Amino acid sequence: MASPNIVSSSQSSLSPPPATSIASTNGGYESGEIDWDNLGFKVTKTDYMFIAKSSLDGDFEQGQLIPFGNIELSPSAGILNYGQGLIEGSKAYRREDGGIFVFRPQDGAIRMQIGAERMCMPCPAVDQFVDAVKQTALANKRWIPPADKGTLYIRPLLMGSGAVLGVAPAPEYTFLVYACPVGNYLKGATEALSLYVEEEVHRAVCGGAGGVKSITNYAPVMKAMRNAKRKGFTDVLYLDSVNNKYIEEASSSNIFLIKGKVILTPKASGTILEGITKKSVIDIAHDLGYQVEERSIEVEELITAEEVFCTGTALGVAPVGSVTYKDKRIEYKISSEIVSQQLNTRLVGIQRGTIEDKRNWIVEVK
């Protein structure tokens, strides 16, 4: 009854995509079919998505790939009425030699388990999650951009799909994984983020769900994001809700400051989402000889920082060109020599297989 079913497709599971868009047999894509130069970060209807279900107290069934399409939900589905849902985000990379790899999918699986516990949801096992991510990447292989053009963004979604009227965990859960090709977020070394420090809206509170990738963390900050964008900023930098003076993170990325050989980032203690990119950058910074401090950072410390940058799966390591706090704009130098660019080059090199992956972060899809 509350099960999501594909409603807009006459195709049975795993039937081939329409003849006009069948991938070539060498696993590539037909040239000229997809405009790889104008990908951006938007929804594209790809070929397949993965779906698996579970009861509240059970284990997730094995699941399967089905054609990408709409799902059917009860009007009283837990996710629609009470926001019982979690997202994840991962990327698949196509190498020059055709190999396909995903970055740290196990970390996303574990983060989803922690989030599921917080939101009273059953969760797929780590292996099941990783396998679903791989299957989704492989089934949509023709949508993975060439190495220099972008990546396949993979979005796992866990939701209370069963019907419930009073506030309570839903009786049924759906784990869904879909994927879309996306472009490189910032092009060139001169592009940078401009952040607006928000003093009225808080992203997360102590005891809330800011530390997990709950879907409930995003709609409440859209107004602050819209206001910042209208003023010409790219994103919002949130402050802690208790003192309104310690920096936390941006809407969907973590923040770092650089002072000499020290790299600073706010310590995650339940109100900051612990990013996989953040963890990776901390390890890479150590490799490059930096000292990394995770601690409370007062907004005033932005004035004495030499560099500021944000990290996340969607944007990678992105330099911040300015931060505006109380009508004061602090500017940072942007060039190909800055530390964030070095960190980015290293991270991208590992993700793309041109730099040794000594920590087993990358997982081959096939």
Ligand X SMILES: *Cc1c(COP(=O)(O)O)cnc(C)c1O
Question: Which residues carry out catalysis?
Answer: 213
Strands (E) in 85-186, as ranges, are 85-87, 90-94, 100-103, 150-160, 172-183
Is 278 a binder of ligand X (CB under 6 A)? yes
Residue 334 DSSP SS3: coil
Task: Restricting to residues 86-145, name those near ligand X by CB under 6 A.
Answer: 89
Is 273 a binder of ligand X (CB under 6 A)? yes
**From the CB of residue 80, how many other CB atoms can be counted at a distance below 10 Å?**
18
Closest CA to 253 of 272, 270, 226: 272
Is 254 a binder of ligand X (CB under 6 A)? yes
Using CA atoms, how far apart are residues 218 and 93, in angstroms rounded to an integer?
A: 27
- Position of tokens 């290293």? 346
Is 277 a binder of ligand X (CB under 6 A)? yes
The least CB distance from residue 153 to ligand X, in Å, is 10
- Nearest to ligand X of 94, 278 (CB atom): 278
Is 172 a binder of ligand X (CB under 6 A)? no
- Nearest to ligand X of 74, 277 (CB atom): 277
Is 313 a binder of ligand X (CB under 6 A)? yes
Is residue 33 within 8 A of residue 95, CB to CB? The reply is: no
Q: Which stretch binds ligand X (CB under 6 A): 1-9, 22-30, 147-155, 306-314?
A: 306-314
Q: Which of 71, 157, 225, 276 binds ligand X (CB under 6 A)?
A: 276
Is residue 212 within 8 A of residue 270, CB to CB? The reply is: no
Q: Which stretch binds ligand X (CB under 6 A): 2-10, 120-128, 271-279, 295-303?
A: 271-279
- Position of tokens 């964008």? 229
Is residue 92 within 8 A of residue 365, CB to CB? The reply is: yes
- Nearest to ligand X of 28, 89 (CB atom): 89
Q: Which of 174, 234, 252, 340 binds ligand X (CB under 6 A)?
A: 252
Q: Which stretch binds ligand X (CB under 6 A): 14-22, 33-41, 274-282, 291-299?
A: 274-282
Is 270 a binder of ligand X (CB under 6 A)? no
Is residue 211 within 8 A of residue 268, CB to CB? The reply is: yes
Number of shown-chain residues binding ligand X (CB under 6 A):
14
Is 343 a binder of ligand X (CB under 6 A)? no
Close Cβ partners of 313 (under 8 Å, ≥ 6 residues apart): 89, 90, 91, 103, 153, 275, 276, 277
Residue numbers of the site for ligand X (CB under 6 A)?
89, 213, 249, 252-254, 273, 275-278, 311-313
